[in-house]
Amino acid sequence: VEVLESGGGSVQPGGSLRLSCVVSEGTFSSYAMAWFRQGPGNERKFVSGISWSGRNTYYDDSVKGRFTISRDNDKNTVDLQMNSLKPEDTSVYYCAARSSIVTTRPNYGYWGRGTRVTVSS
């Protein structure tokens, strides 16, 4: 199973970015998917997750109302729409998959290499 993120970049505060993640092989429609972020010297932290069906979504309090997670089981993709970005959202964002329910702990079996997001004026 390969997990590949894209869509990172630099944006000014208040701007938007859309991260995408594609999962090759495996049974994507059975995976819970999540986005985590990790800054220099910090632990990897949960940002958002989505159940295998897409019916249940989860967000860290720091991004509620600003970020939206979605998935397309036909395309094996999960996206993270990030609006109203703040400097504190600056981090490397990782996409993760697991063959179970969503958890906020980094107990996921499959990880991408990350995509960098920088929010700065």
pLDDT for residue 41: 86
Quick: pLDDT tens for 10-26: 999 999 999 999 999 87
Q: pLDDT over 90 for what percent of the chain? A: 91
Structure tokens at 20: 């995408």
Q: Is the pLDDT of residue 69 over 90?
A: yes
CA distances from 41 to 24, 38, 44, 94, 106 (A): 30, 8, 10, 16, 16
Please tell me the distance from the alpha carbon of residue 68 to that of residue 63, in angstroms, as a whole number.
9
Fill in the amino acid letter for 102: V
Cβ-based neighbour number of residue 81 at 10 Å = 16
Token pair recorded at residue 89: 């959202």
Mean pLDDT of the chain, nearest integer: 96
Phi and psi, residue 30, nearest 5°? -100, -5
The tens digit of pLDDT for each residue in 22-66 reads 999 879 989 999 999 998 889 999 999 999 999 999 999 999 999
Residues in Cβ contact with 2 at an 8 Å cutoff, skipping those fewer than 6 apart: 23, 24, 25
